[in-house]
């Protein structure tokens, strides 16, 4: 028995969660909070600068694969897989 409505709601929750992370690492850490974060250093990197030029991109990659993995599980749970 497939439950398309429940699947869609679960998908929206997952997408929303991922979008929050997407926003925080780029717009949050990379732009809005860049000045306070620049007071923290990892090696030669100021942390805000690192998020803007390196960290956000790594998180984006991880986020897409995380989404693909979780939504694949939901596909099977709700019986809507291909």
Q: Give contact residues for other proteins (rule: CB under 8 A).
A: 2, 4, 7-8, 11, 15, 18-19, 22, 26-27, 30-32, 34-35, 38, 42-46, 49-50, 52-54, 56-58, 60-61, 63-65, 67-68, 71-72, 75, 79-82
d(CA 60, CA 21): 9
Q: What is the largest CA-CA distance in the chain?
A: 56
Q: Cβ of residue 15: shortest distance to other proteins, in angstroms?
A: 5
Contacts of 25 (CB under 8 A, 6+ apart): 51, 55, 56, 59, 60
């Amino acid at each position: 028995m497939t439950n398309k409505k429940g699947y869609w709601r679960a998908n929206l929750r997952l997408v929303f969660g991922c979008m929050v992370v997407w926003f925080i690492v780029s717009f949050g850490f990379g732009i809005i909070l860049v000045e306070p974060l620049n007071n923290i250093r990892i090696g030669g990197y100021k942390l805000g600068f690192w998020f803007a030029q390196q960290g956000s991109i790594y998180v984006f990659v991880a986020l897409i694969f995380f989404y693909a993995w979780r939504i694949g599980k939901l596909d099977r749970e709700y019986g809507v897989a291909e």
